Structure 1
Amino acid sequence: MYQTVFLKISRLLLILTIFACTDKGSETHLPYYDTPDFTPVFLNSEDEIDARVSHTIAPFSFTDQNGAIVTEKDIEGKIHIANFIFTSCVSICPVMTKHMKILQTEFQNDTEVKMLSFSVTPWIDDVKRLHSFAEKNEITSPNWHLLTGSKGTIYDLARKSYFAEEDLGFTRDSSEFLHTEHILLIDKTKRIRGIYNGTLQLEAEQLVKDIRILQKEDDV
């Protein structure tokens, strides 16, 4: 309940701020999120960004559905989207995967946009199972990686790098199950720029628009 209300308020604040701050044809900029409570920080100057936004995605190494090793080097200088699923989930995961496929359609051939779906049951979701899941769900983009590895490492990355459960989950340890509907948008400098409810199609559609904004931002 808290997370749903928070996301709605954040989205409203973001829209109002964009309208308030856009002037003289200037480019719209997405906020930065530097803390697990997801308080948006709006900055345009590179000096301000470097001074005020210290949080970035930590190094990692996992295996995808094709047996390939995927590390932070694969997202270096690229926009990426992250979410957290498990193949036996029958609640939010199928809906999230359906909505992630909207992104697959939009960015199928764009090598500058990566999609990372981390398994939260990696002790079950081995490469073979992830491969079968990809085939079943028509996950065909070479830029969409379903990832497995150490449970503790995935949970630590999810909570401390991606703030996957906001401040409610930041202090939990790896023994507590991770299950979140959030999709995170990360820019080319590995900074968090958006949080979305992956169970809502409108949020997925907004994510597509925000990725386009990030792409334009890099050109400014």
Structure 2
Amino acid sequence: MRITFHFNLGFVCALAVAGCTGKTQKRLPFIGERATEERVVDGKTVVDTIYHQIPDFSFLNQDSAVITNKTFDHKIYVANFFFTHCPSICPTMQRNLLQIYEKYRGNEHVAFLSHSIDFKFDSPSVLKAYATKLGVNDERWQFVTGSKKDIYGIADKYLVYTKEDTSAPGGYDHQGYLVLIDQNKRIRGAYDGTNDEQVRQLYSDLEILLQEK
């Protein structure tokens, strides 16, 4: 078996052919690194594509409970990075994400995951107060904290820039992306959470992802 790695600078697989109808069905791209794996089946070489996936993780949520990647098994979820006292992009980003959360209220297939990058201040109790004030009252939206190493490490896997920076507003510099993850932990889209047009695109793409077989 041979695995070859490639870096996907753009998007892969925008369209797929629907099996029995003969029609094309729009599909979202896969974002991030990918690899090709060669294997022999019945004497023939078959090449599979392995797409970038979010790795295993473990964090504490707003209820001081351990949340892992398994919490999101078989779910589509939207992930982002913020901190509770952020004076710049976070309030707009979280309000826009709240609208999506409310639209899918009662849909067990859609979840949300907000990682705090302020590992010093944003304890579970602080996150709980923040979630309550925002209007989150069920387990579909998790707010999590962890060590600097773990939080910033997982941000890299979501392809989101985060940095502790005393010169930045609130002491942290980060991107405001809302990252769309499919049921297999693969990145299928990233949207500026402060941009209304991109947030509308997230609504549309989430519907497309829900319809994927």
Q: Which bracket does the TM-score occupy, shorter chain normalised? A: 0.7 to 0.9
> Unaligned stretches of 5+ in structure 2?
1-9, 35-46, 166-171
Deviations 1:21-62 (A, max 9, x none): 9996321100001239xxxxxxxxxxxxx8333311010111
1:107 Cα offset (Å): 1.3
Give 1:1-220 correspondences, 5 Å limit: 25-35=23-33, 51-159=48-156, 161-165=157-161, 177-218=172-213
Instruction: Report the more deviating stretch, 73-82 or 200-209.
Output: 200-209
Residue 141 of structure 1 and its aligned partner are, at CA, apart by 3.6
Q: CA deviation at 1:205?
A: 2.1
Q: Which runs of at least 4 in structure 1 moved beyond 4 Å after TM superposition? A: 21-24, 174-178
When you count strand as a share of all residues, which structure comes out higher? 2
**Partners in 1 of 2:87 and 2:136 — Cα distance?**
18
CA 1:210–1:184: 2 relative to 1, 3 Å? same
**Matched length:** 182
The normalised TM-score by structure 1 is 0.75
Letter in 1 for 2:190: I
1:140, distance to aligned residue in structure 2 (A): 2.4
More helix by share: 1
Considering only CA atoms, is the larger Rg found in Structure 1 or Structure 2? 2
Conserved 8 A contact 1:120-1:178: no
1:106-152 deviation line (CA, Å, top 9, x unaligned): 11111211100000002210011001111221122420001111111
RMSD: 2.6
